[in-house]
Amino acid sequence: MQAAISTEKIREDFPILKRKVRNNKTLVYLDNAATTQKPVQVINAISDYYLNHNSNIHRAVHALAEEATEAYETTRNKVAQFLNIKDTQEIIFVRGTTEAINLVAYAWGRQNVKQGDIVVTTEYEHHSNIVPWQLLTQEMGAKLEYIGMDDDGKLILDQLDTYLATGKVKLVAVSHMSNVLGTITDIDDVVSRCKKAGVKVLVDGAQSVPHMKVDVSAMGCDFFAFSAHKMLGPTGVGILWAKKEILENMVPFHGGGDMIREVHKYETTWNDLPYKFEAGTPNIADVIGFAAALDYLNNLGMDFVRQHEIELTKYALEKLSKIKGMKLYGTSDMSRRGGVISFNFADIHPHDLATIIDEDGIAIRSGHHCAQVLMERLDVAATSRASFYIYNTKEEVDILVNSLHRAARLFKLE
| DSSP assignment string, 219-245 | H--SEEEEESGGGTS-TT-EEEEE-HH
Residues 258, 335, single domain; the answer is: no
Q: Which domain holds residue 200?
A: 44-298
172 is a domain residue: yes
Of 261, 276, 298, which marks where a domain is finished? Answer: 298
Q: CA torsion sign, 61 to 86 to 225 to 296?
A: negative
Residues 57, 11, single domain; the answer is: no
Residues 387, 360, single domain; the answer is: yes
Longest alpha-carbon distance in the chain: 75
Pairing assessment for the beta strands 200-204 and 143-147 based on DSSP bridges: unpaired
1 is a domain residue: no
Of 298, 318, 337, which marks where a domain is finished? Answer: 298
Whether residue 221 lies in the annotated active site: no
CA distance 138 to 141: 5
In this structure, how many other beta carbons lie within 10 angstroms of the beta carbon of residue 23? 9
Residues 294, 307, single domain; the answer is: no
CA distances from 172 to 39, 244, 289 (A): 36, 19, 32
Q: For residue 412, what pLDDT is reported?
A: 82
Q: For residue 1, what pLDDT is reported?
A: 38
Residues 98, 202, single domain; the answer is: yes
CA distance 138 to 213: 36
210 is a domain residue: yes
Q: For residue 53, what pLDDT is reported?
A: 97
pLDDT profile of the chain (414 residues), mean per 10: 72 98 97 98 98 95 97 98 98 98 98 98 98 98 98 96 98 98 97 98 98 97 98 98 97 92 93 94 97 98 97 98 96 96 96 97 97 97 98 98 96 82
CA distance 340 to 317: 10
Q: For residue 337, what pLDDT is reported?
A: 97
17, 370, 373, 381: the active-site residue:
370
